[in-house]
Chains A and B, each alone.
Chain A
């Protein structure tokens, strides 16, 4: 520390001068006064660090000076110089707050020790003061930071697009932000610190939040849920909400709930569904138009050939043209039938029938066509399947469609070196399911085609398919409480499996 300034007060001038000289040589700056009164004045004007004063002085004595100094500044160090046997005064001086005393005659060592002590005290006091001041600054800064943070958080909560509602541990609302006002319709002043969870929420939602965990261990955010909220004015608002429990030092402090208004999202969703539906209708209509156009092509072409046949009296031409026309009339009839089947609910007509018999019939029907395309059409029928109770129309229609598809898949196949084959198989699956399997080694399907198989009017056959075949098949099987599954590998072929529940005809006879 810098050299202390010392004020020496004594009515004996000589002693003042001696002490001043001694202290100056030790590096102190000294001030002198020769009476208590003068000492006080110098003290007031110069504010020295340490005062050394004699006790016995005429007028204001050392004790009085000590008291006055301590009144002005209790932190100043005052060393009292006493005469021999003046114990009472010494004790009084110490009670008044003197930092030390030395006896007359003043010896240098005693003075040095007293001054050292005084200086240490000053240093300590200064340190303490600095520290305290620092602490005050730090506390002020921290307070400011907390205030800023709290303001920021308040602002965050205020401006959040989520409605935020928090409850204390007595389930009273403590936070209720403007978005919450918008959703619930209750004014903030009527809710905050007034309403309880049951007054603000419907019982159902309140229950969800209240039943949440109450300890730190199983604490997790509630998964987002959706529900309707009834506003004050009776409107229904779709929301999605979640909640978190507020826990401090393992203690339940309350809960905070977040709500998001889904009105706009729901509206957009609806619009999207609508536009997708429109697109599907468009696709359906265009697919249908395409197919009808193809029928028209056939009819026009056929009638032209017939015209030529009539003109030339050419029976061959007449036959060809007429065949074309008949074939396309059938296509139109089939299309109409498919559309009708697809568009209306149909109950399966359960009757006694022979599945193997139906397969035999279909193979007979298609074998010439398959043969003309060099495709082997084979069957492997489980002889144990006798007569069963099922809808023969469903079986006939579905199998015809799928076998035809299998033949087409062979025709479409680019690999001409393959011996193409379509194999139809029947077998029992468990006690009450009959399974029809149609396996081909044709072109197979890629993922995209596979996925769209049951999409209305989707056809992988260009204009030659209605895009209704499998759709109708799927519907018939579904109405029969059966199932259809498909395995396919592009370039290798496909297997379609139809499973239908049935009862044996025998069971019926017994009944």
Chain B
């Protein structure tokens, strides 16, 4: 079976190295981006099987990248794990504001993980989405 590609978008190098290690340990191919803008460029260049996305980042927040993907016919089927220090309630609230602003409705994220997360928990979430 071919290994699946997982894109990690997070501006915190500590989080990146942690997620990368978890993915590597679980035999996925990790890809990294430091912010939302870079993340979208990478998705366009080489669409991954899953995106692990931070919410608060400089240059194109996770909220915006999430919105962009879920409203794009091309990328909306790529599952997303939100991986963040922000409580789900706050995320949904800002998501709703963005929906109203853009006049669109996007579905809630497939999985929402609040940091800190155990490596096993993260690995299980990834597995649940893409096997």
Residues of A near any B CB (own CB < 8 A):
290, 293-294, 296-298, 300-302, 304-305, 308, 317, 320-321, 324, 327-328, 408, 411-414, 416, 462-464
Contact = CB atoms under 8 A, between A and B. Distances in A.
Given A293-B116, A416-B59, A462-B56, A324 B21 contact: no
Contacts of A416: 37, 59
Interface string B49-75: 000000110111000000000000000
B115 interface: yes
A241 to B, nearest CB: 49
A293 B114 CA distance: 10
B22 interface: yes
Interface in B21-49: 21-22, 25, 37
A419 B37 CA distance: 17
Nearest to A294: B85
Contacts of B116: 293, 296-297, 300-301
A290 B85 contact: yes
B56 A301 contact: no
B110 interface: no
Contacts of B108: none
Interface in B69-84: none
Contacts of A321: 17, 21
A317 B21 contact: yes
B100 interface: no
B85 A293 contact: yes
A304 B22 contact: yes
Nearest to B119: A304
Contacts of A408: 58
Nearest to A309: B21
Interface in B96-122: 115-116, 118-119
Contact of B21 (A305, A411, A414): A305
Interface in B1-36: 11-15, 17-19, 21-22, 25
A296 B115 CA distance: 9
A320 B32 CA distance: 16
Given A297-B85, A414-B60, 17 more contacts: A296-B116, A297-B115, A298-B15, A301-B14, A304-B22, A304-B119, A305-B17, A317-B21, A321-B21, A324-B14, A411-B58, A412-B58, A414-B37, A416-B59, A462-B86, A463-B85, A464-B56
B14 A327 contact: yes
A293 B116 CA distance: 7
27 contacts: A290-B85, A294-B85, A297-B15, A297-B85, A301-B14, A301-B15, A301-B17, A301-B116, A304-B18, A304-B22, A305-B17, A305-B18, A308-B21, A308-B25, A317-B21, A320-B17, A324-B17, A411-B59, A413-B58, A413-B59, A414-B59, A416-B37, A462-B56, A462-B86, A463-B86, A464-B11, A464-B12
Contacts, number: 68
A324 B21 CA distance: 13
A305 B19 CA distance: 9
Nearest to B57: A462
A462 B85 contact: yes
B26 to A, nearest CB: 11
A294 B59 CA distance: 20
B14 A328 contact: yes
Q: What 3 A-B pairs have minimum CB-CB distances, sorted nearest first?
A: A301-B18, A462-B56, A412-B58
Contacts of B56: 462-464
Nearest to B61: A462
A425 to B, nearest CB: 25
A462 B60 CA distance: 14
Contacts of A317: 21
A406 to B, nearest CB: 14
Contacts of A304: 18, 21-22, 119
A412 B58 CA distance: 4
B17 A412 contact: no
Contacts of A294: 85, 115
Given A302-B14, A302-B18, A304-B22, A412 B115 contact: no
Contacts of A305: 17-18, 21
Nearest to A461: B56
A304 B60 CA distance: 29
Nearest to A415: B59
A328 B25 CA distance: 23
A288 to B, nearest CB: 13
A298 B14 contact: yes
A324 B58 contact: no
A324 B59 CA distance: 23
A280 to B, nearest CB: 20
A297 B14 contact: yes
A449 to B, nearest CB: 14
Contacts of B115: 293-294, 297
A324 B85 contact: no
A415 to B, nearest CB: 9
Contacts of A290: 85
Nearest to A305: B21
